[in-house]
Structure 1
Amino acid sequence: MKRNYIKRMLSIFLIVAMLSPISYAMDSGNKLKKEEIVYAKLSFEGKSDLLIGVSGFPKGFQGYDYGDFSEIVNLSTPEELAYDKGRVKIDAKENFYYQGKLTAKELPWIVSMKWTLDGKPVTEEELLGSSGHLELFYDIKPNPTANPKYYEYFVVQSSFQFNVDQISNLVAPEGTLAAAGSIKMVNFMSLPGKGGSYTLEADVQNYEPGMVQIAALPLNLALDLSEITEYTEELKTLEMAIAELNGGTWEFLDGLYQIKEGAAAYSDGGSELLGGSEQLSQGLYEISGGSSQISDGLGELSQGMSEFEEGILLLTGGLDEFGEGIKLLDEGSSAFTQGLLLYLQGVEELSGGIHQTSQGSKDLALGVQMLGDGLYQLVVAGKGAPGHVDDP
């Protein structure tokens, strides 16, 4: 029973279908566009095992088709086809189809599938009829050695089918889920020139694998350009706005740079301001101490002014006394001068004659007396003058 399941799984488990309208055949020396579908049967891990191409031609076509086939089969008539040196001769009285088994096994995409059950890798034999938590890690990417016209212009859609009676809690974060009767499908899509990494998981019971189909189709969007001409001006406006936005973005970045530089300068100025504040605080402290010294100095100045004023008063009084002494000195000098004159006169009279001795003696005595009085007054005046020092 299990072997029958395996045969079924190997025959339809993985099929890749590619619709290729870009192949050509020769009709009387002219290229003719043809329809071609290439089916690839893949292994459990995603390796290509078999490639079969099916080509179609319109009624009335006569000519040759080209390809590397190991065998060919006529699908439209019982006649055998002539195949020689890579050429198939076609004579289509009606629409005509044939298939050929390709010698090449390389696809435009590299496919990889890894299956796990309860976190452990499983083979296809182990997976068939099993129960547990199923996970699939599916990768598809362009084949760099293949013809780039396929993966650059084709959309790849991968479809995985499950029996709803055998699964629950189906989750596919990168996929789209759909249902058709008793079948649930998970679809993944890869755009032209792109690959993808996808995951799905589900709880399975007596799991019997369903079909997996990978279809590669040329991207053909049915767009009527005449319907969108009215939007072209808006698109141009949008393009210009984007250009302006790009320029504004650079200006914005330049402004951010200037803000950064200004912030650095502001930080430096803040540091200098902080240092200046400390110096200002120290200066105010010193001013406070200086104010006390100024206050003390003003007090001493006021006291000195008072003493100066008293000294001025004493000086004024001393000057008055000095003036009085000068007057006394003047009077004493006058008396001294008169006495000296009388003394000289007496000496002269004494020396003039003996006979006048008596009279001269009297005059001399009077002069000496007056001289003594003058000296006394002179001494008295000297004591009253400023700066006089008494004898010890």
Structure 2
Amino acid sequence: MKIKNTVKKPLIALLLVITLIFSVSNTILASKTYEGKEEVVYANLKYNGKVDEIYVVNIFDKEGKIVDYGEYSKVRNMISNEKITMVNNKITVTNENDKLYYEGKLKNQTLPWNISIKYYLDNKEYLPEDIIGKSGFLKINIDIKENKNNDKNFYNEYALQTELRLNSNKFKDIKTDGATIANVGKDKQFTYTTLPAEGAKISITSDVVEFEMDAINMNGIRLNINADIDESEITGKVNDLNESISKLDNGANNIKDG
């Protein structure tokens, strides 16, 4: 979505990262499991939360001939010039390095969650591209629901963390419920945890001057739940994972940029 505006920062960008270590095959990741393999699934979302593009970074800790499987529309070697071939969802490459990183764009462009993001200023709903630079009483609503057209195992097994950062010079009197709040330089960081098999309705309000904001990040990580465990204990454990997820996210982004 192209936005015509003179501000330097984007209105909002969305990146959903699903971290899979030794993952099993499924509809969104039709990929064979190898010991020593990791997968990171990236979904670039539009300003309103709709899917723009989903791709997978596959990481192998081995040399020699590698055979993998995935339902990709295209693949690329991220760190070397070794040719990757793809025939009938079978990916083959001879790796001459200690590690191999290759990216595949998924044919199935759906997520386990349906995500909707709406923006209001002075109680009037605005399109994302029309709210940049405006001032007033802001409300952002994020609605996360199950996508019943996707593999339900992801929705039932993955916790989802939603992170927003708001510049305290522009956003005043910020109010929200259910968030872990931290100060990150001049920004206030709000982190919301959605447990497996649960949706979420996130609302945040603020007085804003010349609206702009950094990316909203969503991180998904597998979390097996025992029905006898108190959910508050699980939420605490998920919050403890936030720093580790952020480090993995940053590292994988560096890989992607490289």
TM-score normalized by structure 1? 0.51
Kept in 1: contact 2:141–2:201 (CA 8 A):
yes
Q: Does 2:92 align with 1:89?
A: yes
Kept in 2: contact 1:54–1:98 (CA 8 A):
yes
Residue of structure 1 equivalent to 2:19: 19
Structure 2's unaligned 5+ residue stretches are 26-31, 226-258
Residue of structure 2 equivalent to 1:114: 118
Residue of structure 2 equivalent to 1:151: 155
Q: Does 2:42 align with 1:46?
A: no
Q: Deviations over 1:172-200 (max 9, x none)?
A: 11222211101211111110111111111
Q: Deviations over 1:119-146 (max 9, x none)?
A: 0001122211110111011111222221
Q: Which moved more, 1:90-99 or 1:205-214?
A: 90-99
Q: CA deviation at 1:22?
A: 4.5
* Superposition pairs of residues 285-296 of structure 1, within 5 angstroms: none
Counterpart-to-counterpart distance in 2, 1:6 and 1:195: 34
Higher strand share: 2
Residue type of the partner of 1:86? N
SS of 2:10's partner is helix
Kept in 2: contact 1:167–1:203 (CA 8 A):
yes
State the superposition RMSD in angstroms.
2.3
Counterpart-to-counterpart distance in 1, 2:200 and 2:95: 41
Structure 1's unaligned 5+ residue stretches are 222-392
Q: Deviations over 1:52-79 (max 9, x none)?
A: 1111011236332111222212112122
SS of 1:136's partner is strand
Residue type of the partner of 1:205? V
Counterpart-to-counterpart distance in 2, 1:97 and 1:119: 47
Residue type of the partner of 1:32? Y
Identify which of 72, 76, 82 aligns with 2:75.
72
TM-score normalized by structure 2? 0.76
Q: Does 2:209 align with 1:205?
A: yes
Kept in 2: contact 1:6–1:125 (CA 8 A):
no
Q: Which moved more, 1:200-209 or 1:67-76?
A: 67-76
- Give the share of equivalent positions with the same residue, in percent: 29
Counterpart-to-counterpart distance in 1, 2:8 and 2:23: 34
Q: CA deviation at 1:92?
A: 3.1
User: Of the two structures, which has the highest relative contact order with CA contacts closer than 8 Å and spacing of 6 or more?
Assistant: 2
- Structure number with bigger Rg: 1
SS of 1:100's partner is strand
Kept in 2: contact 1:5–1:208 (CA 8 A):
no
Alignment length, in residue pairs? Answer: 215
Kept in 1: contact 2:22–2:33 (CA 8 A):
no
Q: Deviations over 1:186-239 (max 9, x none)?
A: 111110111111111111101112110011011279xxxxxxxxxxxxxxxxxx
